[in-house]
Amino acid sequence: MVMLRSLLEIPANHRSLFGESEVIAPEPLIIEEGATVIPRHFNIPESKDWAIRFSQGVFNANGDHIEALSDMRGNRKLFFPAARLEEAVGYQPANVKGRKFMLYGGTLFEHFGDMLVDTCRAYQLLRLFRHSKEPIWFHYAAPRSARSFRAATIEQWLQCLGLAERFRLIRRPMRAKRLVSCPQIYRDLKFISEDYAPAARAALQPKLRRQLAALAPEGKRIAYLSRHKLANGTSKFIQEGELVEQLRTISRVDIIYPEELNFEEKLSLWRSHSYIVGFPQGCMMLKPFVPCEEPGRIAGMIFLVAGPKCLPSNWLSVEKVCRFGDFYLDCHGHPQQDPDPNTSGFTRANSIDVPRIVKSIRELAASLS
């Protein structure tokens, strides 16, 4: 019997779960007349804390910083400038460029998972301004000296959103006669808005949505998302290489390495398979963007959880608003039996119960036949 449990039933004190998870009500757009946008600047160059090393932000017509348009993760502020415009690093009144109208999409991050979820302001704007010719302006979480993206994944994702020709990076102070944006509809390890689900569903460009919706399942199959080739990250699952070799022997199981797929191929997994199984990872955050007009036409997800702090509350938040009906499987190993692992590049190394995982996936595959 496959020992799967609903993700929404995971205990609040589960050792793998960390972070807060609150669903907030939809909030209105933020419309500011005479707003000034300050580009990214070194704030405290010598600081080792990346969150305060730079500053950027948006100020209202009175010169007050608009905190609702700055980035936060959990309860931590990111890149916050001075409270007043005249005190902001990099503000030069003579260098301010005027614009009649400005759509502000927030910050683009190079890290894959952060990029997907922290671009949430743009998803919300696309629901209303999909067919507008106005560009969407972004801060870019890299030094100002970076004149182009250092991570190709950002350009690929913007292409999927239909923004490849429409996005702009904020490189100099700008003052907009009218600026339109929105508060965060998702905050890492803190909350998610009821607006996140419809915003994510509407985020992909229409042509790509139609292509994904037209995909037929490739039989009843399970995709296992392997992390064992990754050289760095947060949690390393020590025996995952052994697990992958055993899963290869199970009929109906496909071993997938997400880092080797482009965005279209990643998104297609939820249309082509019955189940997606894996340890928590950024690729799983793509599910809310996959068209799913008909019940049963999108793969169910099974999160494997093993050891402390491997399941961020973000997935619980997404489940609460998207209502996918996804599952988790406890598969903790026995640390006292672990070999001395090479954890270089990882924050932690967790042991896993390989036989339990193999047995559960074997039974799941048999149930599909």
Percent of the chain with pLDDT over 90: 78
| Residue 262 confidence (pLDDT) above 70 | yes
Residue 338 neighbours by CB distance under 10 Å: 14
Residue with tokens 């997938």: 256
| Residue 67 confidence (pLDDT) above 90 | yes
The bridge status of strand 191-193 relative to strand 186-187 is antiparallel
Q: Please give the average per-residue pLDDT across 51-70, as a whole number.
A: 95
Q: What is the pLDDT of residues 210-224, one digit of tens each?
A: 999 999 887 899 999
The tokens of 355 are what? 């036989």
Instruction: Please tell me the predicted confidence (pLDDT) of residue 96.
Output: 95
Question: How close are the terminal C-alpha atoms of the chain, in Å?
Answer: 15
Instruction: Please tell me the predicted confidence (pLDDT) of residue 150.
Output: 66
Q: What is the pLDDT of residues 18-53, one digit of tens each?
A: 999 999 999 999 999 999 999 999 887 777 788 888
Instruction: Please tell me the predicted confidence (pLDDT) of residue 345.
Output: 63
Q: Please give the average per-residue pLDDT across 177-192, as a whole number.
A: 98
Instruction: Please tell me the predicted confidence (pLDDT) of residue 229.
Output: 81
Instruction: Please tell me the predicted confidence (pLDDT) of residue 197.
Output: 96
Instruction: Please tell me the predicted confidence (pLDDT) of residue 42.
Output: 85
| Residue 340 confidence (pLDDT) above 60 | no
Instruction: Please tell me the predicted confidence (pLDDT) of residue 339.
Output: 47
Give the range with max mean pLDDT: 145-149, 213-217, 287-291. Answer: 287-291
| Residue 10 confidence (pLDDT) above 80 | yes
- Lowest average pLDDT, out of 295-299, 312-316, 328-332, goes to 295-299
What domains are defined for the chain?
5-21+207-368 (3.40.50), 28-184 (no CATH)
Q: Please give the average per-residue pLDDT across 277-300, as a whole number.
A: 90
Q: Please give the average per-residue pLDDT across 86-91, as a whole number.
A: 91
Q: Please give the average per-residue pLDDT across 358-369, as a whole number.
A: 94
Instruction: Please tell me the predicted confidence (pLDDT) of residue 4.
Output: 92
- Lowest average pLDDT, out of 94-108, 145-159, 290-304, 338-352, goes to 338-352
- Lowest average pLDDT, out of 25-39, 168-182, 229-243, goes to 229-243
Average per-residue pLDDT in the chain? 91
Instruction: Please tell me the predicted confidence (pLDDT) of residue 48.
Output: 79
The answer for residues whose C-beta is within 8 angstroms of residue 328's C-beta and 6 or more apart is 4, 5, 7, 10, 302, 303, 304, 305, 311
Better pLDDT: 25 or 238: 25
